[in-house]
Structure 1
Amino acid sequence: MANHPPYHYLDIGIAGEDLVAEWLQSKGWVILHRRWRYRNGEIDIIAQFYGEAGEAKDEGKASSSPVLAFVEVKTRSRENWDAGGRNAITKHKQVKLWDTALMFLAKYPEKANYPCRFDVAIVSCQPISQGLAAVTISPEAIPNLSSG
């Protein structure tokens, strides 16, 4: 029988998504969906911000409508193979996220005119003792890849 690590890969990913969702909520975002799927695509978190655009987009302008964020979460353990998940956001992955976001907006046309953004949250998971792991969010955890 194989000697498996004390945590499961999927559990680490879910823990990372949970942490990012909690962080977003603490900043005033409302989580609309987790792991929203359409055909061959999935968006980890879809969140909406009702405050000022300056708080959501760092522009300092008031917003007349909420802002939507499509968030991809990459949770990795130490010494991973893809620069903490940064290398996993390939052009192909970006196109899939874009297409899935378009399907979301088609399904929810009342949100189709909201300003939208695509974010990537990089989460680092480190074992702290046998059977336990610590998950932390880096200071630049949710850099804005592009705005729609």
Structure 2
Amino acid sequence: MANLPPYHYPDIGHLGEDLVAQWLQSTGWIILHRRFSCRWGEIDIIAQHDGNAGEAGEHTSLREAAPTTALSNQESRKAVGELKTQHSLLAFVEVKTRSSGSWDAGGRSAITPQKQAKIWRTAEIFLAQCPEKADYSCRFDVAIVYCQRISKNPTGVTATQSDLATSLAAGYKFKLQEYILAAFDSSIDNG
């Protein structure tokens, strides 16, 4: 059998990122950017969650947080905006998609201090380009996706108890095996 040209093969990394983005959206996150890149590097997924920054699954109702004193429309909009900013969280997500027998512990050891520094600098560039998000809480997450070649080519996304999510695409089965919250230091110095 002849070797196929590289463009014939699916981009496994992008398919793994697709699974993670779909899973994040299903858990209440808004995907702001995919494959954000600058001279420092690339961030696979930038996602925002509005709600209690300490618990990414909880949402604060604007009605519950509305001030009890009478405010002008402008003051009300400003107060709601400050509340939303106070409870918004940005996640800069690095996705590692690997098959069995990977040399780097399923992608975990590929998140070196140098890689972390690149992601950190890229996040700073993103925040500089989106100053309205500069006051949001930020964290750096890592998603570990396992892929395995399958014989048939069905597509779809499902959730199982052992994996956070799975999908079938381009002849591969993808499993989101682990989602590591705040995988490395997220104290971005804006000063």
**TM-score class, shorter:** 0.7 to 0.9
| Contact residue 50 and residue 87 of structure 2 kept, 8 A | yes
1:51 Cα deviation after fit: 2.0
Once the two structures are superposed, what CA deviation does each residue of 1:93-124 show, in whole Å capped at 9, x if it has no partner? 00000000011111111111100000010100
Q: Identify the residue that residue 117 of structure 1 maps to in structure 2.
A: 139
1:142 Cα deviation after fit: 3.1
1:40 Cα deviation after fit: 3.1
Gaps of 5+ in 1: none
| Contact residue 40 and residue 121 of structure 2 kept, 8 A | no
For the pair shown, which has the larger CA radius of gyration, 1 or 2?
2
1:12 Cα deviation after fit: 0.7
User: Normalising by the residue count of structure 2, what TM-score does the alignment of the two structures yield?
Assistant: 0.67
**Structure 1 residue ranges (4+ consecutive) displaced by more than 3 angstroms after TM superposition:** 1-5, 60-63
Q: Identify the residue that residue 92 of structure 1 maps to in structure 2.
A: 114
User: Normalising by the residue count of structure 1, what TM-score does the alignment of the two structures yield?
Assistant: 0.86
Q: CA RMSD in A?
A: 2.6
Q: Identify the residue that residue 19 of structure 2 maps to in structure 1.
A: 19
1:89 Cα deviation after fit: 0.4
Q: Percent identity among equivalent residues?
A: 60
Q: Tell me the distance in 2 between the aligned counterparts of 1:11 and 1:142.
A: 23
Q: 1:103 is aligned with what amino acid?
A: I
Q: Given the superposition, is the C-alpha separation of residues 2 and 92 from structure 1 closer, same or farther in structure 2, using an over 3 Å criterion?
A: farther
Q: Tell me the distance in 1 between the aligned counterparts of 2:22 and 2:148.
A: 19
1:52 Cα deviation after fit: 1.9
Q: Tell me the distance in 1 between the aligned counterparts of 2:20 and 2:114.
A: 23
Gaps of 5+ in 2: 61-82, 154-170
